[in-house]
Amino acid sequence: MNSTLRSSPLSGRPAPVVLAVAGLCAGLEIVFTLADLAGYTDIRRTAIIYGAFWPQLLTGHWGAVFPGQRASMFLTYAVLHGGFLHMLFNMLIMLHLGRETVIRLGQAGFLLILALSAVGGAAGFALLNGGQAPMLGASGAVFGLFGTTIYWDVQRRRAVGAALTEPLKLTAGLVVMNVVLWLMAGGMLAWEAHLGGFVTGVILGRVVTPTLFHRHRNRSRRH
């Protein structure tokens, strides 16, 4: 049996729900960027006040701006970004990773994985980050997609007895990327959200496809 496994290429136009999420994030960032260029910086600042993830709201040190903010910020932070390149980087990765999620789980499943990974990313940030700066960006949700797709790749490889070299290399690459970006950003990278999203994605991948390896092994025994 071969020691490597190649996944089927995922091609074609992204599903409407993936494009809709990307369009929402891109549209908001375009508005904020144009407003910044025109001198209306208060528009972005107001969006951050209302939509970013503020850990102090959970500890009670700060009061909420509106009822329900303590809950809504676990999702709203993921559609806001710190700049155009920040948004573009996250959306390009999401468009790529979202294809397999939609193929496996449908559009509603993709949206659920993305939302729960965003919540997991916020939870990771709240638990591991002791600072007071707000957190924003879709990278927690995007790392959730990384976690889910890597788990699926490991699951496929285990089912046929293939080597796990590629998914392990990708995981190591993500760790190295976070370290490099953290250093480049002067410690202002929310790696805690990346970790929380990734772990959530792995767990969700395990929950939605729990028995592929065992089904394949039992079928092989019968043959």
pLDDT in tens, 75-104: 999 999 999 999 999 999 999 999 999 999
Q: Which element (helix H / strand E) includes 221?
A: helix 212-222
For the domain with range 16-222, which CATH number is right: 2.10.109.10, 1.20.1540.10, 2.40.10.10, 3.40.50.720? 1.20.1540.10
Residue 142 burial (10 A CB sphere; 0-12, 13-18, 19+)? buried
Contact 145, 98 (CB under 8 A): yes
Which amino acid is located at 73 in the chain?
Answer: M
The pLDDT assigned to 188 comes to: 87
Rounded distance between C-alpha atoms, residue 79 and residue 45, angstroms: 14
Query: Is residue 4 left, alpha or beta, with left meaning phi > 0 and alpha meaning psi from -120 to 50?
Result: beta
Select the more confidently predicted residue: 159 or 171.
171
Q: Quick check: 213 pLDDT over 50?
A: no
The pLDDT assigned to 159 comes to: 87
